[in-house]
Amino acid sequence: MTAPSTGGASRDGYGKGLLRIAEDPRVVVIEADLGKSTKSCHFRDLHPDRTISLGIAEQNMMLVAAGMASSGKIPFASTFAIFTERAFEQVRNGIARPGLPVHICGSHGGIHTGSDGSSAQSIEDLAIYRTIPKMTVVHPCDDISAEELTTQLLELNGPSYMRTTRNKVPRMYEDGEKLRIGKGSVLREGGDVAIFSCGVMVGEAMAASDTLSAEGIECTVVDMHTVKPLDEDLISKLAARCGCFVSAEDHSVVGGLGGAISEWIATNRLIPLEMVGVNDMFGQSGGSMELMEMMGLTESDICEAARRSVERKNRP
Amino acid sequence: MGDGAEVDVSELEEMARRCRIDILKMTHAAKSGHPGGALSAIDSMVAIYGTCLRFDTSNPDWEDRDRFIMSKGHASPAMYAILHQMGVLDEDDIMGFRTLGSVCQGHVDMNWTRGVDFSAGSLGMGLSFGLGCAISAKMDSSGRKIWVMLGDGETQEGQIWEAAMAASFHNASNLRAIVDRNRIQNDDFVDVQMEIGDVGEKFRSFGWKVKEVDGHDMTSLVDVVDWADREDGGPVAIVANTIKGNGVSFMENNPSFHGKAPDDEELRIALGELA
């Protein structure tokens, strides 16, 4: 299942996923002047009659999507992750509360977005959407998984938020055959520590697991592409097996994947968790990898976190 | 409804009177709610429901029904009163207004109440939702029409104008907005809080067809609703000049009855006036 290679950005997978589900006449695409960036533009090219452009007006976009969903359509509405947040209350009250099947895609999520700077680097989207009842929150790691998970949204019958990213990262998948929304994907098995990662940090986690293995620390690496609902069965199983965790996300350590796992730990089984993420601060302009290094979001940060986690587990 | 039958204005006026009584009784029972904006909007709603809205009371979920989007969702008693008078809700339903488990939630909610097409409560969202319904109807080659009831204070929300611009751009000729121009909002008069000016002209400048009407004159309302129902040259807005609390002397034009229910004595006086 895993085959790191030169791949595409997860936003490209979203665009391809939309084309795969286009044969369903209920599918409509809604844009707010960023279709070329989110990659819904490919759907627009082939299905202009089912693509609605609403200009730079995200609040209106969310409720137009809701109205269409109430009329039997399945809208896929996209903009930058950060600009979906502008319409947070619209998502909460207008989409999620009535439980309408509107699928929001926020692209360019995270610090990895790079040179556009801190205004464009959403680091809180997973956290805020995770707090909304009925919302499914998904953050794929590469284009292959994004394409597959996008097609699965069609069957959800409820609202969702998918975060995609701007830049290309190594592919973690050859195909999406075994991916399921709500089920973490185990990319590597090891008994010393479990690393739960999402988005661009999955590749970093896989690289870290090689380094750690050479030191004698064997890792289970999970692509936790679905942040909500949390795959508690898998977490429980790995808590028993590994006894300590690392979370790794290009997102604030407050409230995201690490936050979700720490909630599980606090209420189920007290084991060490070390969190790799944005440490409650804003980014700045710069190259993706420069920024990831500056913010502590690299393979080596995951290695250090894993060592700490294992050390805490083994502490008498 | 919507069968083109001859309109009996006196029957509509009688329906509006009964709706007003419902509005007062349910807010009194709940000891909360928003009677003022329900009483100002009710005549327009009766005119729409009573003459042209294609809506099956025995099957409120009929997919190809016209939609009525109560964007000013705090005026929910008006919506529940209409549905009660049309036989979709019963007396127990409306008298449970705002109580735990009631089908009549504080603000209109499509998941709780049969015949309600929109979950409101946060102002400024309904016109966008209606636009989504309107675009969908056109995609489906359906003739269904979408009515949206807006408050005048609500038009202070920027999203209203995002939707107004988009509706014109997308030629949503099946979309109808009514602005309940009662000139009072939560804290005070609109011109004290933030005057909205000539709201009809604003819609016109966004490419809408607009007419103004006395929102409590049923004959005029029937005429303008008929015009709006037939107009297919673009989105249509009706500015209904109304009086907040209309029909109850001490509530009329009184900001304190925006969000305050009548007490026992006030209910007695009000029902006497509506007898």
Question: Alpha carbon A312 to chain centroid distance?
Answer: 28
Span(s) in chain A for CATH 3.40.50.920: 185-313
Is A71–B166 a contact, with Cβ atoms under 8 angstroms apart? no
- Best probe of the A interface among B67, B162, B170, by most A CBs < 10 A, is B162
Query: Is any Cβ of chain A less than 8 angstroms from the Cβ of B135?
Result: yes
Confidence class for position A2, pLDDT limits 50, 70, 90: very low
A198 with A169: CB under 8 angstroms? no
ipTM reported for the complex, 2 dp: 0.96
User: Distance (Å, rounded) from C-alpha A293 to C-alpha A287?
Assistant: 10
Q: How many helical (H) and strand (E) elements, i.e. helices and strands, does chain B have?
A: 10, 5
User: Distance (Å, rounded) from C-alpha A60 to C-alpha A32?
Assistant: 9
Bond preceding residue A229 cis, omega within 30 of 0: yes
Structure confidence by residue, pLDDT tens digits, B149-206: 999 999 999 999 999 999 999 999 999 999 999 999 999 999 999 999 999 999 999 9
Structure confidence by residue, pLDDT tens digits, B9-39: 999 999 999 999 999 999 999 999 999 999 9
User: Distance (Å, rounded) from C-alpha A179 to C-alpha A312?
Assistant: 32
- Residues of chain B with Cβ-Cβ distance to A134 below 8 Å are none
Structure confidence by residue, pLDDT tens digits, B117-136: 999 999 999 999 999 999 99
Beta bridge partners of B181: B241
Q: How many CB atoms lie within 10 A of CB B127?
A: 33
Q: How many CB atoms lie within 10 A of CB A168?
A: 17
What are the tokens at A136? 């499914």
Confidence class for position A3, pLDDT limits 50, 70, 90: very low
User: Distance (Å, rounded) from C-alpha A134 to C-alpha A91?
Assistant: 11
Q: Provide the pLDDT for residue B6.
A: 78
Share of chain A above pLDDT 70, in %: 98
Query: Is any Cβ of chain B less than 8 angstroms from the Cβ of A64?
Result: yes
Strands A160-163 and A219-223: unpaired
Q: Which CATH entry fits the domain spanning A185-313: 3.40.50.1100, 1.10.10.1590, 3.10.20.30, 3.40.50.920?
A: 3.40.50.920
Is B140–A71 a contact, with Cβ atoms under 8 angstroms apart? yes
A189 with A132: CB under 8 angstroms? no
Q: Provide the pLDDT for residue B5.
A: 60
- Which element (helix H / strand E) includes B239? strand B236-241
Is B128–A49 a contact, with Cβ atoms under 8 angstroms apart? no
CATH of domain A7-170: 3.40.50.970
Q: A-B interface: how many C-beta pairs under 8 angstroms? A: 100
- Residues of chain A with Cβ-Cβ distance to B131 below 8 Å are 60, 63-64, 67
| pLDDT for B236 beyond 90 | yes
Query: Is any Cβ of chain A less than 8 angstroms from the Cβ of B143?
Result: no
User: Distance (Å, rounded) from C-alpha A99 to C-alpha A104?
Assistant: 13
Structure confidence by residue, pLDDT tens digits, A58-108: 999 999 999 999 999 999 999 999 999 999 999 999 999 999 999 999 999
Sheet with A245-252, strands from edge to edge, namely A185-188, A219-223, A193-197, A245-252, A273-278
Is A71–B158 a contact, with Cβ atoms under 8 angstroms apart? no
Query: Is any Cβ of chain A less than 8 angstroms from the Cβ of B170?
Result: yes
- Best probe of the B interface among A53, A64, A83, A93, by most B CBs < 10 A, is A64
3-state secondary structure A87-139: CHHHHHHHHHCCCCCCEEEEECECHHHCCCCCCCCECCHHHHHHCCCCCEEEC
Span(s) in chain A for CATH 3.40.50.970: 7-170
Structure confidence by residue, pLDDT tens digits, A132-151: 999 999 999 999 999 999 99
Structure confidence by residue, pLDDT tens digits, B133-146: 999 999 999 999 99
When pLDDT is averaged across residues A276-302 and rounded to a whole number, the result is 96
Residue type, B164: A
Of A50, A57, A68, the CB nearest to B166: A57
Residue type, A238: L
Q: Provide the pLDDT for residue A6.
A: 58
| pLDDT for A8 beyond 90 | no
